[in-house]
Amino acid sequence: MSDALLPVFSPASVLFDHGEGAWLVAANGERYLDFGAGIAVNALGYSHPHLVGALERQGRKLWHLSNVYRISEAERLAERLTAACFADVAFFANSGAEANECAIKIARRHHDAHGRPERWRIITFDGAFHGRTLATMAAGGNRKYLDGFGPAVDGFDQCPLEDIEAVRARVGPRTAALMIEPIQGESGIRPVSHGFLRQLRELCDERGLLLIFDEIQCGMARTGHLFAHQEAGVVPDIMSLAKGLGGGFPIGACLATRGAAFGMRPGAHGSTFGGNPLAGAVANAVLDIVMDDGVLAEIRRKSALLRGLLEELAGRYPDLLVEVRGRGLMLGLKTTRPSPEIVEALRARAKVLTIAAGDTVTRVLPPLIVTDKDIRLFAERCDETFAGLSRPAA
């Protein structure tokens, strides 16, 4: 890596040049099967003609306007997203963390505008990841990210997952909202039970709290449902999106009901770049593809195929692969070896790309357009690699 970059990342040494579908091609011509999709961002794979077309068309027309003018692409995107879920209004940002910042501000303002300014604290959950800005880092509560940056932003109270009594006990006169990922991503693909999400909804209704779902990783058709909460049948008041929303173009969104967003008036929030014409045009092109029942059904079918093949591998290498978990095309392989080792072995030995999560979970996040053929090839290459790593009892 160039030492001109702030050394906060430690990227793999391979240098990619271009990509097509689920494949990345390195500068030296080597082809890699990418089942990481830029951490669930490249939802439609690389060089998808519909996205390239939308980007090129908009690129010749108008890139940026500023929110001091109407932006037709953002208006259309907001209308389509809100029509597809519980929400009435959308705010566009440039990243997931910013979408969550907006969610936090909406929740605090909601209570302030209702004459309860003392309600500004938000309950979050163990293992959460909500971003790397000062507030979203505090919301995640991960010491690894917080240490060394001075006092954490105040206003977040953490609870264990799947323990409604603990949450109940934590809710106080200063609580404004509960914030949760319906499927935790960074900490190791941990789906939250639908029952627990339902209990959180009931608690929020009972105590006048807002429910925030962070669907930045699990949303945008990743689970085979446009939004993960739609499978659970539990509706939030506020939801953040990013990652797959722009198919690789940076855009985040915070969606809310009109009631939750009560208090957000002109000047209450803003963004220079958020929802600019280029980002809006590309995100609309992503929606053209994923907002289709047939496409969603295909994602569910392909996810069953992939999961079945991975579970076969878990049966074959029980000393290495202890669990396959997740939903849809958001899967995690829990291993007895550290995940960075698994990711590196798959990359170096089999030219297959995956993403580490937690300490011992390897994320499998193929592009949603992945073919059956590539799924089978992925499983074959995992098989070969695991055979080399596995140490069956003698």
* Closest chain position to ligand PLP (CB): 96
97 in a known ligand binding site: yes
Q: How far is the CB of 129 from ligand PLP (least distance, A)?
A: 5
State which residue, 242 or 299, has the beta carbon closest to ligand PLP.
242
Both tokens of 157, joined, read: 């109270």
Q: How far is the CB of 227 from ligand PLP (least distance, A)?
A: 13
Pairing of the two strands 361-364 and 330-335: antiparallel
How many Cβ atoms are within 10 Å of 277's Cβ, its own excluded? 19
Q: How far is the CB of 22 from ligand PLP (least distance, A)?
A: 20
Q: What are the backbone dihedrals phi and psi of residue 381, each rounded to the nearest 5 degrees, phi first?
A: -70, -35
State which residue, 156 or 317, has the beta carbon closest to ligand PLP.
156
State which residue, 44 or 97, has the beta carbon closest to ligand PLP.
97
Alpha helices by DSSP H, listed for 255-292, are 277-290
96 in a known ligand binding site: yes
Q: How far is the CB of 218 from ligand PLP (least distance, A)?
A: 7
What's the CA gap between 265 and 105, in Å, rounded? 12
State which residue, 97 or 167, has the beta carbon closest to ligand PLP.
97
Q: How far is the CB of 113 from ligand PLP (least distance, A)?
A: 26
Question: Which of 259, 132, 284 shows the shortest CA–CA distance to 205?
Answer: 259
How many Cβ atoms are within 10 Å of 359's Cβ, its own excluded? 11
What's the CA gap between 292 and 226, in Å, rounded? 9
State which residue, 94 or 284, has the beta carbon closest to ligand PLP.
94
State which residue, 100 or 360, has the beta carbon closest to ligand PLP.
100
212 in a known ligand binding site: no
80, 289 contact by CB (below 8 A)? no
Q: How far is the CB of 354 from ligand PLP (least distance, A)?
A: 16
378 in a known ligand binding site: no
How many Cβ atoms are within 10 Å of 165's Cβ, its own excluded? 10
107 in a known ligand binding site: no
What's the CA gap between 367 and 365, in Å, rounded? 7
Helix (H), strand (E) at residue 157? strand 156-159
132 in a known ligand binding site: yes
* Helix, strand or coil, per DSSP, at residue 102: helix
- List residues near ligand PLP by CB under 6 A: 95-97, 100, 129-131, 181, 185-186, 214, 216-217, 242-243
217 in a known ligand binding site: yes
Question: Which of 163, 159, 162 shows the shortest CA–CA distance to 121?
Answer: 159
Which residues are documented as binding site? Answer: 96-97, 129, 132, 214-217, 271-272
Which residues are documented as binding site for pyridoxal 5'-phosphate? Answer: 96-97, 129, 214-217, 272
Which residues are documented as binding site for N(2)-acetyl-L-ornithine? Answer: 132, 271
